[in-house]
Structure formats: C-alpha cells, structure tokens
Amino acid sequence: MAYDYDILVIGSGPAGQNAAVQATKLGRSAALVECGRELGGVCVNTGTIPSKTIREAVVYLTGLYQRAIYGQSYRLKDDITIKDLRERTRIVVERERDVVRDLLLRNHVTIVPGLARFLDSHTLAIAARDGKERRLSGEKIVIATGSRPAHPPGIDFADPMIFDSDEILRMTRIPSSLVVVGAGVIGVEYASIAAALGASVTVVDARDEMLEFCDGEIVESLRYHLRDQDVVFRFGERVTEVVASEGGTLTRLASGKQIPAEAVFYSAGRQGATDSLELGNAGLEADGRGRIAVGPGYRTAVEHVYAVGDVIGFPSLAATSAEQGRLAASDACGVEAEGMVDLFPFGIYSIPEISYVGKTEAELTAAAIPYEVGVAHYRDLARGQILGDMHGLVKLLVSPTDRRLLGVHALGTGATELVHIGQAVMGLGGTVDYLVNAVFNYPTLAEAYKVAALDAANRLRHLSRVTG
C-alpha cells in the first residue's frame, strides 16, 4: 500500500520536532500536524520558554542576586508591571517560533495545520480552522501531542484571578498576594517568582513535602530561602473550594483553614493531550490521565504507532522529550540508535534554581549503597561573591569503593548549566579524582566541582585511615 508519507507526526513540541527532523535526515518523507495557531507546542508558547523568560526578567529587574552587595532595598526597577514581563516573553517566544519553523522547513518537513484524529492506525483526519477536513496516511505515526494542565472539578478557571500554568500571562497585573495550589515543579517555580516580585505567597499541597524526588538537603535549602522571602507552606492540606469575588479569592482547606489572596495559581499536575485523537480507531487507549503506554523504541501497543514526550508521562522534560522523538523516529526508520541512559539531568527553574543528575542520598540509603559527600558553597567561591549568590552550593555523592560519582546536586545561579559537568564525568565513568586534578577557570562557578571533590576526597581519605 502506498502512503502519503513515510512518517506522520502529531504535535510540534520538542518531541514532535525532533521526530520529524530525524525522519527526514534519514531519508524519509515526513509531515508534522499541529493544531495550535503557532508551532512549538506548550514548550514554546505557554510553558517552558515563557516561564523561564519570566523568571530571568524577574531576577534581572528585581536585582535579587545583587542585594548581598548593594543591600536588601536594591532593585533595578521599582515598579515592575505585567507589561514588562509580557513584552520580554513575547519577543523570546516569537523568535523561538521562528527557529522551530526554520528548522522544520530547512529539513523539508511538511507542516500541516489542523486538529488530527485517527480514522485507522495508518490514517488521520485533519480538521482545519475553516472547517474543511483532509485525510493523510502514514506508514508510521508518531504521537507527540504533549499535555495540558489538569483542572480539578469545581474550580472556576474562567475567573480572571484563578490561573493555571498555561494562562499565567493573561494576568492584567502582578497580584500582591497569591495562593499556589501544588508544590510540584511548576508550582514551586511560580511561587518563587511571585515571592521575588514581593507578593505574599502561600503554597498548599496535600503531600507532606515538596519536590520529594530531589535531594532532601537541596530542597530544605530552597525552602529556607523561600521562607526568608515570607513564603508560607501548608503541607498535608487539601483544597476543598476556591471562592472568587470582587474583593479577591478565598481558598478553603479540608482542615477548616481559609486563605484570602488576590489570586490563585493552580498547579495540580498535567493531563496527556489525547482527548481529541480518537485513539480507539487506531486500536489504542490512554490511561485516566490521558497518557499512552509505550515499550522499546517508544512503540505503542500498535507496532507502527509511536508515542513520545509528555503524552507518555515521566519524566516529562523538554530535553528528554526531544531525545525520545529522535529515538522513536530512528526506530521507525529501521535505524539502530543508542538508547537514552538514566543519566538525564533534572532542572527546576525556581529562584534559586535546582538541578541534579544521578542518585539522591535517600535513594542510595534505601538501596544500601554506601557513599560519601563533598560540598562546595558559592559563598566560598570568588565567582559566588562577584555574583552576590550566597545561597548556592554543589554537592557530590561519591562511592567509597571505586570513587565514582553517584550523584551531583546543585542549587543556585547556573545550577542547570553546572550539572552537565557532573553528567559528563558520570557518563564517562570518571571518578572524584578527575575533578580533584582538573583545572577550572578562575573565577567561575565550575570551580565548585574542585572544591566539592577535594572535600569528598578528604572524607574518603579519613575513612580509609579509620577502616584500614
């Protein structure tokens, strides 16, 4: 049977982009279907890029990291408005959209605007905005539709002062007080941004801890920093109702507590964007959160249909989604590709930011794997003093048997960049001795690796003396 394309990709986020481009680089014909008005998916238009751009604008305009040098009253701009944040975000997002479009066109990917649904496992019906529908067939199909914010029942997200992460830029003003429901990655990121802007922030979560998958010491350091900015945490609390009026919002908790605030930001997880795909026509189904199960090569239960990115769930990172797209397209084209190892970095763009790769102390302890710790604080580095970052640190977890790195954890300025040094050392099987002997530019934050490595090496030396 002749198909219109070798590979059809649904969705133009990082996973979809990379799947389509990889297919054409391997000599196959590929079309990419996008239902949004712009290319780039949630990542470019409402999620990753806007939120990180807002964060950078806030850090710059508030002069937050310069206060250790110039005093707590220092601000680059006294009256920061939503217009300041929205304008910088608009510029970055528009440029990134252009980058995505150029990437696809340069690689001869056919861009098909419209909402896709399955007619069968090889055929899509694509509804354009003018109501017209066309059919396209593909020998292989890659689902990369991403995710959307989950909306708990009974919460009126149409209210102008109740937001989810995709709607944050529709705010008309920066609220003076904010309730953040959900202490996951997105909730913590926006809570720290609002606190840096001077808002009174309360974080509510039914769990007993935030970011429980991260290193406990790093999370505690972040909590200390946020508490220092008057962020209040309400853990073990469940929201039962949010009432909005002209005077603001009132968040009611199951414990009977009531929290007044000007606005509420809901970050209650994400749902796979599969509702409109009519997966049943392709012999597929999604779970209760809209996610599609995959096996080796990111193949679904239907051999020639693949799923990648947020729509398959964990880890739901832009970087891992992009790599999944490349690997799925390689498999679809019959080309062997190196699988993604477990050493992918996590980045949390809070203020200050967190990043890590490898194992946490809790994971190593649970697995009865011995380790030693080496720590470097930014305040002890010349670069940290220059930047005014007194809170940052780099932490190494090192095996006492073979001296290899088991985990790298960072908090502070540039943490999401710094982590890649540790990732490279771990990926190549390097030991703490490599970092001890390496020469780093001075003054840099990268020097923290040498300081932390020396700390770990000294502890290992003491351990060997005691144990013989």
For 427, the token pair is 């990926």
Cα–Cα dist 372/397, whole Å: 6
pLDDT of 242: 95
Cα–Cα dist 458/449, whole Å: 14
pLDDT of 72: 63
Q: Are 459 and 374 in contact (CB under 8 A)?
A: yes
HSE value, Cβ hemisphere, 13 Å, CA-based, for 378: 22
Q: Which residue has the higher pLDDT, 170 or 357?
A: 357
Q: Which residue has the higher pLDDT, 413 or 72?
A: 413
Q: What average pLDDT does this structure show over 82-108?
A: 94
Strands (E), 89-154: 110-113, 115-120, 123-127, 133-143, 147-149
User: All domains of the chain, ordered by start, with CATH?
Assistant: 5-148+271-332 (3.50.50.60), 162-268 (3.50.50.60), 352-467 (3.30.390.30)
pLDDT of 71: 66
Which tens digit of pLDDT belongs to each residue from 39-79? 999 999 989 999 999 999 998 888 877 766 666 666 666 78
Q: pTM of this prediction?
A: 0.92
Cα–Cα dist 38/101, whole Å: 9
Torsional sign, CA 216, 221, 226, 231: positive
